[in-house]
A and B are shown apart, each in its own frame.
Chain A
Amino acid sequence: MSEQYILLDHGSGGLASQQLISELFLKYLTSPLLASLEDSAVFTVSGNCLAMSTDSYVVDPLFFPGGDIGMLAVHGTINDLAMRGARPLYLSLAFILEEGLAINDLERVLQSIAKCSNEAGVPIVTGDTKVVPRGKADKIFINTSGIGLVPDERSISVSQARKGDKILLSGSMGDHGITIMTRRAGLSLEGELRSDTMALHGLVDHLCTTFPGAIHTLRDPTRGGVASTLCEIAEQAKAAITLDEESLPISASVRAGCEILGLDPLYLANEGKMLVICSPNQANDIVNAMQHHPQGHEAAIIGEIIDGPAGRVTLHTGLGGERLVTPLHGQPLPRIC
């Protein structure tokens, strides 16, 4: 590690986070299941293929347009499981609470957690609560873990991505990230900005059942955004990726917010979107099926995996130029999830 201390950059989901994981965590934690760095680990127990995942949530503010920390905590872990094609079964829920937190706020968060877990059909079956003195944590931190069942013959992972595959995005990008950032900047923008937080396991299951074998890779582009996630995929697939700027689904209000804050939607966090990497000959049908599903009606084909240097992602710009897309490198970002 080149740094002697943990910086906020290390939590950005970009290059610094990757460095921390590969240079420190993987040095000591050596399970091959972990080393693949997928959204969740997939393994077989007594003939059943299971997926397991965990995630912590520290977003500030706790409540924001379109969601709250509780919704993120439920949806995030469900989505991490779904990204391996798993049907989520059970969740755990752990709180770290700051002394002085209003019970009212905790109750609001719990109501939201219960609602999301009911709607998703994934019950919370175990939990834990700790309280720390005022100032030692910020209001509420949440961890959720989950396990899911991967149906037979489903093999979805980053290692399945191959040259020629098309890249689809399930809806508009950047909504969650920009909602939190504009909130924190105290900006109120016309044209509703809302977090896109949403559970995607329904859409995943629908696609995997309708197009068996055609879906190769699924990733939810959370911190670091679509750009950083695609760079990782290109790196692991040992191939290049090309994107078409004009086909990127971005809402007008996200664009406006980005302009004001000087941000690029490609790097903004999403909490209810996924990248689908699939066989080229079924891409049109898949995008069509997504557009007819409530969780994917703004889906679009945004690019493809091509021959080229491993990890290289390029963007064809609206004016006919071309430029490189690189992973997020340590922009100091506020706590967004």
Chain B
Amino acid sequence: MKYLSEFRDSALTKPLVAELQRFPARPIRIMEICGTHTMAIFHHGLRSILPEGLQLISGPGCPVCVTAAGHIDAFVDIAQQDKVRVAIFGDLMRVPGSNGSLSQAAAHGAQVEMVYSPMDALELAEKHPGELIVFLSVGFETTTPGVAATILEANRRETSNFAVYSTHKVIPPPLELLLADPDLELNGLLCPGHVSTIIGAQAYQTVADKYQLPCVVAGFEPADILRALIMLLRQIHEERYEVENGYNRAVTWQGNQRACALVDKVFIPEDSPWRGMGILPGSGLAIRETYSQFDASKRLDITMQDIAEPKGCLCGEILCGKFAPPDCPLFAKACTPANPIGPCMVSSEGTCAAYFRYGEK
């Protein structure tokens, strides 16, 4: 882990900041797709040192935020079932659904356990043989291989009391949808580091060509982000539009084929609902028939309802880059992290949470 301090070292970042600030002022709009980037950018105070005219817009890459309201309600439904214990990543705990959050369900006796990996959920199944353990699974390309591996492991162990409720999604379909919107007027894409370790930098070639858009894959340390922004600005000023990899130490052009094969073995693409974007064809991942004994949607007979988003909440629009959190009349008034109305205020990768927490009111 020694590399952490290396990429944060101010001796390394100061020259990059200076280089970034040397670009001539002009209006430029760059979208950071990924919620982890949004948080890192705020966390390191990067927005306060950007060159004049450069605007960073947060995109749809927060898995909890894009989870449709209907899925959140389904999570709470599952948690309230008899002899069911749900396992979740901590971020989901407080996301409000139309019948409250998992945290509120837990206060009424629902068994909700926070885990750090899907394998922990499988271990819970061993620990509680009298219950069905359901892993409420949310996430993009980065998380799916681990879930696929866990399902295969459950299959190998013949664990009968373990299931996954999959709301997994893939990142290219919403990107296509967003970029097709001429109002967004983007000049460049800061592409997610983690997701790209799986799908490879090549995944952005189509959008780079089709929308003549500079794309740079970036890591999450300050030096990584600074370097990627410099690469983007160079492309923009030189009127190039290429896919460049600014995260060579983790991301390859092709991605991780083994992980992709693992996902493909367990999951099959399906149409999936996105908050603010509707149902996007082929954007979700369902568990294949072969592994249906681990598919909670089949075992528990859960039907996803089409639930309206919380009244007044602009999460959907914010995820599409159309608004920034301060444009929402509820922001920092009725909606705060202590009393969240939409998921973007709850998730540790949510744009509203970032604005609130790091002070752009």
Chain A residues in the interface with B (C-beta under 8 A): 2, 5-9, 15-16, 19, 185-187, 191, 246, 252, 255-256, 259, 261-262, 264, 314-324, 326, 329-332, 334
Contacts and interface: CB of A to CB of B under 8 A. Distances in A.
Contact of B10 (A186, A315, A318): A318
Nearest to A316: B45
B269 interface: no
B338 A5 contact: no
Interface in B1-26: 1-2, 4-5, 8-10, 13-14, 16-17
A330 B359 contact: no
Nearest to B337: A329
Contacts of B90: 331-332
Contacts of B116: 185-187, 261
A319 B13 contact: yes
In the A-B complex, list the 8 residue pairs whose CB atoms are closest, starting with the nearest: A321-B45, A324-B359, A329-B337, A256-B1, A317-B45, A319-B13, A323-B45, A5-B107
A261 B114 CA distance: 13
A19 to B, nearest CB: 7
Contact of B108 (A5, A8, A16, A185): A5
14 contacts: A2-B339, A7-B104, A8-B106, A9-B103, A246-B10, A255-B5, A256-B4, A259-B1, A317-B44, A319-B16, A319-B17, A321-B44, A324-B358, A329-B337
Interface string B20-48: 00000000000000000000001111111
A331 to B, nearest CB: 7
Contact of B45 (A15, A191, A256, A322): A322
A185 B1 CA distance: 18
A4 to B, nearest CB: 9
A102 to B, nearest CB: 19
Contacts of A256: 1, 4
A186 B108 CA distance: 28
B352 interface: no
B359 A326 contact: yes
Given A252-B5, A321-B45, A332-B90, A326 B17 contact: no
Contacts of A315: 45
Contacts of A16: 338
B120 interface: yes
B335 to A, nearest CB: 12
A8 B358 CA distance: 24
B338 A252 contact: no
Given A318-B44, A323-B43, A323-B45, A330 B1 contact: no
B322 interface: no
Q: Residue among B2, B120, B359 with the most chain A CB within 10 A? A: B359
Interface residues of B, number: 41
Interface string B157-199: 0000000000000000000000000000000000000000000
B10 A321 contact: no
A186 B119 CA distance: 11
Contacts of B103: 7-9, 332
B320 interface: no
B13 A330 contact: no
A322 B47 CA distance: 8
Contacts of A255: 1, 4-5
B55 interface: no
A272 to B, nearest CB: 24
Given A252-B1, A255-B1, A262-B348, A323 B8 contact: no
Contacts of B359: 314, 323-324, 326
Interface of B: 1-2, 4-5, 8-10, 13-14, 16-17, 42-49, 90, 93-94, 103-104, 106-108, 114, 116, 120, 222, 226, 336-339, 348, 356-359
A330 B339 CA distance: 9
Q: Residue among A5, A259, A332 with the most chain B CB within 10 A? A: A332
Nearest to A14: B338
Contacts of B339: 2
Given A319-B222, A323-B45, 13 more contacts: A186-B120, A191-B1, A256-B4, A259-B4, A315-B45, A318-B10, A319-B10, A319-B13, A320-B14, A320-B49, A323-B44, A324-B359, A326-B356
B94 A330 contact: yes
Nearest to A312: B359
A318 B336 contact: no
Contacts of A252: 1-2, 5
B220 to A, nearest CB: 9
Q: Residue among A8, A186, A314, A318 with the most chain B CB within 10 A? A: A318
A332 B94 contact: yes
Contacts of B2: 252
Given A255-B4, A318-B13, A319-B14, A332 B114 contact: yes
A326 B358 CA distance: 7
A31 B107 CA distance: 31
B10 A15 contact: no
Contact of B44 (A9, A19, A319, A329): A319
A329 B358 contact: no
Contacts of A319: 10, 13-14, 16-17, 44-46, 49, 222, 226
Given A19-B338, A256-B4, A332-B90, A321 B107 contact: no
Nearest to A329: B337
A324 B17 CA distance: 20
A114 to B, nearest CB: 34
A321 B49 contact: yes
Q: Residue among B104, B116, B226 with the most chain A CB within 10 A? A: B116
Contacts of B46: 319, 321
B11 to A, nearest CB: 10
A262 B359 CA distance: 20
Q: Residue among A6, A252, A319 with the most chain B CB within 10 A? A: A319
A179 B338 CA distance: 26
Contacts of A317: 43-45, 222
Nearest to B9: A318
A324 B359 CA distance: 5
Nearest to B123: A186
A323 B339 CA distance: 23
